[in-house]
Amino acid sequence: VIFRYALAIFKYNEEAILKIRDNLEFYQYLRFFTKTISDGRKLMSIAFGDMNPFPMKLLQNRRGVHRLKVEAELRELEQLKAQYVKEQAEQAASQPDGPTSEEEEEI
């Protein structure tokens, strides 16, 4: 519901937003544009009447595609993590026992 209202707020002010060409002006507009909404019924109408929800099948397809991408990224990160841990263990094994610098002695 909150997301629908957020989209409706942008739709409510769509014409004014599309006229903005400067990034700074756009940022300033976004800071104060919610104060320009004076018709709550219109906002509710946009949120629940004008904006059609995505069909559930489309949502499931998109979720599936993105889930596969995220899972692949997670597997890659896990591999990188395992490689890093292995390298750190090898470095620790190859270093002599005891501190090698004054900073390490203080710790």
Other CB atoms within 10 A of residue 12 CB: 23
pLDDT number for residue 73: 96
Q: What is the C-alpha separation between 89 and 85, in angstroms, rounded?
A: 6
pLDDT averaged per 10 residues, the chain (length 107): 85 88 88 83 82 71 92 96 95 75 57
Q: What SS3 class is residue 68? A: helix
pLDDT number for residue 81: 96
CA distance from start to end of the chain: 53
List the chain domain ranges: 1-53, 54-92
pLDDT number for residue 26: 87
Name the residue with tokens 């700074």.
24
What global pTM score does this model have? 0.41
